[in-house]
Amino acid sequence: MPLQLALTVDRTSRLPLAVQIRNSLRELVEDGTLRPGARIPSSRQLALDIRVSRSVVVEAYEQLSAEGYLESRHGSGTAVSAHAHAPDLTSTLVPPDREPTPEAMWDLRTGTSNVVDFPRHEWIRCVTAVVADASHQELGYSPPAGVPLTRRVLTSYLGRVRGVRSRPEDLMITSGFAQGLALICKVLLDRGHTTLAVEDPGHPGEREFITSSGLRPIGIPVDDDGLRVDLLEESGVRAVLLTPANQFPTGARLSQARRERLIAWAREVDGYILEDDFNSAFLHRSDRLPALQSLAPDRVVYAGSASKTLAPALRLGWLTAPSELMASIEHVRAGWDIGCSGLEQLALARFIDSGALDRHQRQLRKEFHRRRQTIRHQLETCLPGTRLTGRDSGLQAYLQLPAHIAEQPLIRAARQYSVLARGGRFYTMTDTSRPPALVISYATVDCTGLAQSLLALGKAYREMPG
Ligand SMILES: Cc1ncc(COP(=O)(O)O)c(C=O)c1O
């Protein structure tokens, strides 16, 4: 099969043609355009395509093979060497040590979603109906902010379940929370911000993401009532990103008093609050408070995601912002990608309208509550002396360890018992005053698995010097 390769030569250059070909190919491999294993045209084919003699291409290929960039495979032509250096193209928001996964029976690290229970049949039903019914207009381009129908459905859904006060024209469908964060960072930069406050502990990938956008993340400590707003006030920052419903990873809920103080702060400094509500579907009845946004739609940018309730692969999220900010966000978005897949957005609208999302979330909520109770009940016997912080909601348990237990030796010992978990330090930015901790995600391990993995963790725990 003839393969095509976007490569040209400059006949006016003094560089010999073989050198030009070699340099161009080497660059394509080094910048990751051609990944390890990627097939490239045969020397005969490339010579024909770029109109040079075959010996010139052969010379370039031989040189690159000697340098370890290419390899010839008997019967299947030439390819980029499987060992060629490839730049890491993974987002910082994806946990760094997820790939390759070390051999272990239980993976209790955060960053995963319960995709096992993804409602495949319901989703297929919605996608099939959408593909069958979509009008010509719906198959065309929609506004960068999203399909109008989906924005209407989501606005009323978020109003109903989270008390979010918005209008469809102030709501945007994003490619996950990650894109919402990238958009906000860009708009803040354009408006002269240089820093963005984040929770400490918090999501380490988000901090890197913020840094690479050009803003400096400033860590603000968290306690049992959520973000320390008093310390935020002292920081001099004018925008903050937080998870008020269920702090990631401690599980704390931002208290009512701090919610009010936070909003007063935003008004005082003429700043913004970015509310990451990605895990609110897992709030137990007794833990539910309306979204922070409902208290101050003029100051809070509210963002949610389908990654935890449905699947990260959908890359569907939403964001609602004060109108004057939304205009800037839309402007940036229009220059980026002209929006997400309209068909997926329409499927989401059907999924919500048919009540399937409510049903699915109710089931997940019940299941995750059971999992958390399993951990709670087993702590005393398996990990005596630890404290489960936060409320009885969420997707992970934050276990404060006795002061004498060192996190890393415990994590290493747990690995010996086939359990992968992370210590609190993984999430910490600068607040080193926190006691040691163990963070256990129960997103992908059921009650039976949790009970077994806690027994295994208990064995590792008992090996720690007393
Ligand atoms: C703190 C936090 N916010 C948001 C998300 C959802 O991100 P996305 O919608 O880009 O998948 C995650 C996913 O793990 C998360 O950990």
pLDDT beyond 90 at 85 = no
pLDDT beyond 90 at 181 = yes
pLDDT beyond 60 at 75 = yes
The string of DSSP codes covering 238-278 is SEEEE--SS-TTT-----HHHHHHHHHHHHHHT-EEEEE-T
Locate the ligand 1 atom nearest the alpha carbon of residue 303 and give its number.
4
Q: What does the pLDDT read at residue 318?
A: 98
Q: Nearest C-alpha to atom 13 of ligand 1 is from which residue?
A: 111
pLDDT digits (tens, 9 = 90+) for 207-228: 999 999 999 999 999 999 999 9
CATH, domain range 17-80: 1.10.10.10
What average pLDDT is seen over the chain? 93
How far is the centre of ligand 1, averaged over its atoms, from the C-alpha of 17 (Å)?
48
- CA separation for the pair 239, 288 (Å, rounded): 25
Instruction: Identify the three-state secondary structure at position 402.
Output: coil
- CA separation for the pair 253, 251 (Å, rounded): 7
- CA separation for the pair 302, 13 (Å, rounded): 55
Q: What does the pLDDT read at residue 242?
A: 98
The string of DSSP codes covering 140-167 is S---TT--HHHHHHHHHHHHHHH-----
* CATH homologous superfamily, domain 106-117+359-462: Aspartate Aminotransferase, domain 1 (3.90.1150.10)
User: Hey, which of 240, 241, 275, 278 would you mutate to test ligand 1's pocket, going by the most ligand atoms within 8 Å of its Cβ?
Assistant: 278
Give 6's pLDDT tier (boundaries 50, 70, 90). Answer: confident
Reading the block at residue 320, the tokens are: 């609602």
Distances (CA, A) of 316 to 240, 263, 308: 23, 28, 11
CATH, domain range 120-356: 3.40.640.10
The string of DSSP codes covering 293-317 is GGG-TTTEEEEEESTTTT-GGG--E
How large is the average pLDDT for residues 383-387? Answer: 95
How far is the centre of ligand 1, averaged over its atoms, from the C-alpha of 276 (Å)?
8
* 451 contact partners, CB below 8 Å, separation of at least 6: 374, 378
457 or 4, which is more confident: 457
Give residues (CB < 6 A) around ligand 1: 111, 176-178, 203, 243, 248, 276, 278, 305, 307, 312, 317
Length of the chain: 466
Distances (CA, A) of 1 to 6, 56, 210: 16, 22, 44
Residue 62 CB coordination number (10 Å) = 15
- CA separation for the pair 91, 185 (Å, rounded): 16
Locate the ligand 1 atom nearest the alpha carbon of residue 206 and give its number.
1
Beta strands 422-423 and 437-441, pairing class:
antiparallel
Give 103's pLDDT tier (boundaries 50, 70, 90). Answer: confident
User: Hey, which of 185, 308, 309 would you mutate to test ligand 1's pocket, going by the most ligand atoms within 8 Å of its Cβ?
Assistant: 308
Burial 137-166 (b: 16+ CB within 10 A, else e): ebeeebbbbbbebbbebbbebbeebbebbb
How far is the centre of ligand 1, averaged over its atoms, from the C-alpha of 333 (Å)?
19
91 or 178, which is more confident: 178
Is-same-fold flag (17-80; 106-117+359-462)? Answer: no
7, with CB counted inside 10 A (0-12, 13-18, 19+), is middle
Give 83's pLDDT tier (boundaries 50, 70, 90). Answer: confident
Q: Nearest C-alpha to atom 6 of ligand 1 is from which residue?
A: 177
How far is the centre of ligand 1, averaged over its atoms, from the C-alpha of 277 (Å)?
9
Q: What does the pLDDT read at residue 237?
A: 98
Q: Which of 249, 246, 234, 172 is nearest to 197 (CA)?
A: 234
How large is the average pLDDT for residues 335-359? Answer: 96
SS3 content of the chain, % helix, strand, coil (to 5): 45, 15, 40
pLDDT beyond 70 at 97 = no
Q: Nearest C-alpha to atom 7 of ligand 1 is from which residue?
A: 177
User: Hey, which of 93, 199, 242, 340 would you mutate to test ligand 1's pocket, going by the most ligand atoms within 8 Å of its Cβ?
Assistant: 93
How far is the centre of ligand 1, averaged over its atoms, from the C-alpha of 115 (Å)?
14
Strand order in the sheet with 272-276: 171-174, 317-320, 300-305, 272-276, 239-242, 195-200, 216-223, 226-227
Q: What does the pLDDT read at residue 376?
A: 94
User: Hey, which of 203, 277, 302, 315 would you mutate to test ligand 1's pocket, going by the most ligand atoms within 8 Å of its Cβ?
Assistant: 203
pLDDT digits (tens, 9 = 90+) for 29-74: 988 888 888 899 999 999 999 999 999 999 999 999 999 999 988 7
Locate the ligand 1 atom nearest the alpha carbon of residue 278 and give its number.
4
pLDDT beyond 90 at 241 = yes
Instruction: Identify the three-state secondary structure at position 226.
Output: strand
How far is the centre of ligand 1, averaged over its atoms, from the C-alpha of 366 (Å)?
21
> Which residues partner with 165 through β-bridges?
none
How far is the centre of ligand 1, averaged over its atoms, from the C-alpha of 92 (Å)?
11
How far is the centre of ligand 1, averaged over its atoms, from the C-alpha of 208 (Å)?
14
How far is the centre of ligand 1, averaged over its atoms, from the C-alpha of 299 (Å)?
22
* 377 contact partners, CB below 8 Å, separation of at least 6: none
User: Hey, which of 112, 172, 174, 177 would you mutate to test ligand 1's pocket, going by the most ligand atoms within 8 Å of its Cβ?
Assistant: 177
- CA separation for the pair 436, 405 (Å, rounded): 7
How large is the average pLDDT for residues 90-96? Answer: 70
Stretch (H or E) spanning 197:
strand 195-200
Distances (CA, A) of 300 to 219, 263, 323, 395: 19, 8, 11, 24
pLDDT beyond 90 at 112 = no
How far is the centre of ligand 1, averaged over its atoms, from the C-alpha of 177 (Å)?
6
Locate the ligand 1 atom nearest the alpha carbon of residue 179 and give its number.
10
How far is the centre of ligand 1, averaged over its atoms, from the C-alpha of 392 (Å)?
20
How far is the centre of ligand 1, averaged over its atoms, from the C-alpha of 139 (Å)?
29
Helical H segments across 87-228, by residue range: 120-133, 136-139, 148-162, 176-190, 204-213
Give 96's pLDDT tier (boundaries 50, 70, 90). Answer: low
Domain ranges of the chain: 17-80, 106-117+359-462, 120-356
Q: What does the pLDDT read at residue 101?
A: 61
Distances (CA, A) of 60 to 2, 75, 455: 19, 20, 59
Locate the ligand 1 atom nearest the alpha carbon of residue 243 and give its number.
1
